[in-house]
């Protein structure tokens, strides 16, 4: 745990939250500024600032919690769809430096817009980018 981390303080119950789920490795709670009602954050209890630094032994429990909560949201809220995201780093929109998933209920015409993609300039560019990624594996 990190004393200066908002989510660590929430997990430690030093800051109030509206819990959805908790086990030994995972805590899930409602986002205080939801895209739509039910927007839930799912976080590992063990502090890590981003996905690449998250303990690989925690990831199975984390993704299983995401799956179970997503199903519960579909049933309990009667939602039409859902965005499940993980913003990794400030440039990607991560506001709290503690790895977390957003489970955002979606409805037709709810006004939430994701992104506007742009195609690669050429197939060669796509191949070059793919090669750079593979080299990092």
| pTM of the predicted model as reported, rounded to 2 decimal places | 0.90
Q: What pLDDT shows up at residue 13?
A: 96
Q: For the residues 92-112, what does the mean pLDDT come to?
A: 93
Residue 57, pLDDT > 80, answer yes
Domains belonging to the chain, first-starting first, are 6-136 (3.30.428.10)
- What's the pLDDT score for residue 128? 94
**Whole-angstrom Cα distance, residue 120 to residue 124?**
9
Does residue 75 contact residue 102 with C-beta atoms inside 8 Å? Answer: no
Q: Please state, in angstroms and rounded to a whole number, the distance separating the CA atoms of residues 71 and 63.
A: 12
* Mean pLDDT value across residues 3-21: 95
Q: Is 102 a catalytic residue?
A: no
Would you mind telling me the total number of residues written for the chain in this entry?
137
The H or E element spanning position 128 is helix 123-136
Catalytic residue among 39, 47, 98, 100: 100
Residue pair 105/82 in contact (Cβ under 8 Å)? The answer is yes
pLDDT classification of 114: cutoffs 50, 70, 90: confident
CB atoms within 10 A of CB 28: 23
């Amino acid at each position: 745990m990190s004393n200066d981390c908002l989510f660590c303080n929430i997990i430690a119950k030093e800051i109030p939250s509206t819990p959805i789920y908790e086990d030994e490795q995972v805590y899930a709670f409602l986002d205080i500024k939801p895209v739509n009602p039910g927007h839930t954050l799912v976080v590992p209890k063990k502090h890590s600032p981003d996905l690449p630094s998250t303990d690989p032994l925690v990831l199975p429990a984390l993704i299983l919690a995401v799956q179970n909560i997503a199903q519960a949201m579909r049933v309990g809220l009667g939602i039409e769809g859902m965005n499940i995201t993980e913003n990794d780093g400030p440039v990607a929109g991560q506001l709290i430096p503690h790895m977390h998933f957003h489970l955002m209920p979606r409805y037709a015409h709810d006004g939430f817009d994701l992104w506007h993609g742009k195609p690669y300039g050429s197939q060669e560019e796509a191949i070059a980018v793919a090669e750079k990624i593979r080299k990092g594996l």
